[in-house]
Amino acid sequence: MITVIDYGMGNIRSVVKAFEKYTASVRVSSDPSSIAESNALVLPGDGAFGMAKAHLDEMGWTAPLKEYIAKGGYFMGICLGFQLLFESSDEFGFHRGLGVVPGHVRRFALANLKVPHMGWNQVRWEQGSKFLEGIPSESYFYFIHSYYPESADAEWVVGSVEYGMRFPCIVSKGNLIATQFHPEKSHKAGLKIIENFVRYACS
C-alpha cells in the first residue's frame, strides 16, 4: 500500500492519479498510524514551509515520519515535500524542517531572475539512483517554486538544475527520493520516476 499524506497543504489529487497508473494500492491518509500498514509514503505539498511544518507537527506526523525514513522506509517527497526534508527555511521567517537532509532553503534573490521559477527545465544527473532508471540526464521536468536548497550534502544530491545558479532538485539515498519539480506533471520522464518508485516499493 502506498500512502499519500494529506496534511492540508495543496491539492493531492493529481499525485494520487499519477500513482494509480501503476498500482491500485494507493490511499490518502491524514492519520500517522497508517504508516504501519504502508509499503511507501508520499509527501506532496504546495504552500508555505512554516505552515506545512506546523501542520505536520500538529497532526502528529513529524516524529513517525522521521523514524520511518531513518529505518529505511520507501519515501517520496514532492515540491514542498522535498523542501521539508531539509534542516531549515527562511520562508516568511526562520523555520525548522524535518532535518533529514543537511541544508537550508532560501528564496531566489538574484537580480533580473523571474520568481517563481515556473515551467520546464532540464535536470542533470549528478549520480545514479534506482529511481531514475530509464530516464536520460538532461530530461525536462516541470517546476513551480520560489525557494531552493542553498546547500545540500553532496552524497544526497542526484539531480541538479540551472536557474540563475545550479542547485539541487533531486535528493535520494537508500529508499528515499524527493524532487523539487512535480513528477506527476512532468509527462513521460516524471511518470517514469513514479513508475520506478512503485516497482521498488511494491515488489
**Of 55, 117, 169, 184, which residue is the catalytic one?**
184
Does residue 202 have an active-site annotation? no
In the sheet that 40-43 helps form, which strands lie side by side, from edge to edge?
26-29, 2-5, 40-43, 74-78, 176-179, 166-173, 157-162, 117-125, 139-145
CA distance from start to end of the chain? 11
Does residue 184 have an active-site annotation? yes
**Of 55, 79, 95, 195, which residue is the catalytic one?**
79
Q: C-alpha grid cell for residue 112?
A: 533580473
DSSP string, 152-193: --TTTEEEEEESSSEEEEEEEETTEEEESS-GGGSHHHHHHH
Cell 531539509 belongs to residue: 86
Does residue 79 have an active-site annotation? yes
**Of 55, 95, 145, 182, which residue is the catalytic one?**
182
Main-chain dihedrals φ then ψ at residue 40, nearest 5 degrees: -160, 155
- Please give the positions annotated as active site: 79, 182, 184
